[in-house]
Amino acid sequence: MSIVFFDTEDWEKEVIPKHIGGVPVIVEERKLGTDTINIALEAKVISIFAWSTISKELLDQLPNVKCIATRSTGVDHIDLKACAERDIVVCNVPGYGERTVAEHTFALMLALSRKILPGGDRTRGGSFSREGLRGFDLEGKTLGIVGCGQIGRRVAEIAQAFAMDIIIYDIEQDEEFAQKIGGRYAKTLKELLEKSDVVSLHAPLTENTKHMINMETIEHMKSGALLINTARGDLIQTAALLKALDENKIAGAGLDVIEHESLVGEDVEILSNDNQSNLKLSALLRNHILLSNPKVIITPHNAFNSEEALSKLLNTTVKNIESFLSDKKQNVIS
* Active-site residue, 184 included: no
- What's the CA gap between 72 and 92, in Å, rounded? 6
Kindly state whether residue 76 falls inside one of the protein's structural domains: yes
* Active-site residue, 261 included: yes
Q: Which domain holds residue 42?
A: 2-96+307-325
Q: What is the DSSP string of 140-194?
A: TPEEEEE--SHHHHHHHHHHHHTT-EEEEE-SS--HHHHHHTTEEE-SSHHHHHH
Q: Which of 154, 232, 259, 286 is catalytic?
A: 232
- The answer to whether residues 155 and 145 touch, using CB atoms and an 8 Å cutoff, is yes
Q: Is residue 160 domain-shared with residue 21, that is, in the same domain?
A: no
Q: Is residue 58 domain-shared with residue 30, that is, in the same domain?
A: yes
Q: Is residue 48 domain-shared with residue 189, that is, in the same domain?
A: no
Q: What is the DSSP string of 13-38?
A: HHHS-SEETTEEEEE-SSPSSTTTGG
Q: Is residue 92 domain-shared with residue 146, that is, in the same domain?
A: no
Kindly state whether residue 334 falls inside one of the protein's structural domains: no
List, in order, residues 6 or more apart from 278 with CB less than 8 Å away. none
| Helices then strands, each counted (H, E), the chain | 13, 13
Q: Is residue 71 domain-shared with residue 198, that is, in the same domain?
A: no
Kindly state whether residue 33 falls inside one of the protein's structural domains: yes
Q: Is residue 130 domain-shared with residue 80, that is, in the same domain?
A: no
The torsion of the CA quartet 182, 149, 263, 12, rounded to 10 degrees, works out to: 120
Q: Is residue 102 domain-shared with residue 30, that is, in the same domain?
A: no
Q: Is residue 73 domain-shared with residue 158, that is, in the same domain?
A: no
Q: Is residue 137 domain-shared with residue 253, that is, in the same domain?
A: yes
Kindly state whether residue 148 falls inside one of the protein's structural domains: yes
* Active-site residue, 202 included: no
Q: Output the pTM of the full model.
A: 0.88
List, in order, residues 6 or more apart from 216 with CB less than 8 Å away. none
CA distance to 47, 48, 148, per residue, from 40 (Å): 10, 12, 37
Kindly state whether residue 333 falls inside one of the protein's structural domains: no
The domain tally of the chain equals: 2
The CATH number given to whatever domain includes residue 314 is 3.40.50.720
DSSP 302: -
Q: Is residue 145 domain-shared with residue 53, that is, in the same domain?
A: no
Kindly state whether residue 292 falls inside one of the protein's structural domains: yes
Q: Which of 301, 307, 308, 322 is catalytic?
A: 301
Kindly state whether residue 265 falls inside one of the protein's structural domains: yes
Q: Is residue 187 domain-shared with residue 131, that is, in the same domain?
A: yes
Digitized pLDDT (tens) for each residue of the chain, 334 residues in all: 899 999 999 999 999 999 999 999 999 999 999 999 999 999 999 999 988 999 999 999 999 999 999 999 889 899 999 999 999 999 999 888 899 999 999 999 999 999 999 999 999 999 999 999 999 999 999 999 999 999 999 999 999 999 999 999 999 999 999 999 999 999 999 999 999 999 999 999 999 999 999 999 999 999 999 999 999 999 999 999 999 999 999 999 999 999 988 777 665 455 556 555 667 778 888 988 999 999 999 999 999 999 999 999 999 999 999 999 999 999 999 7
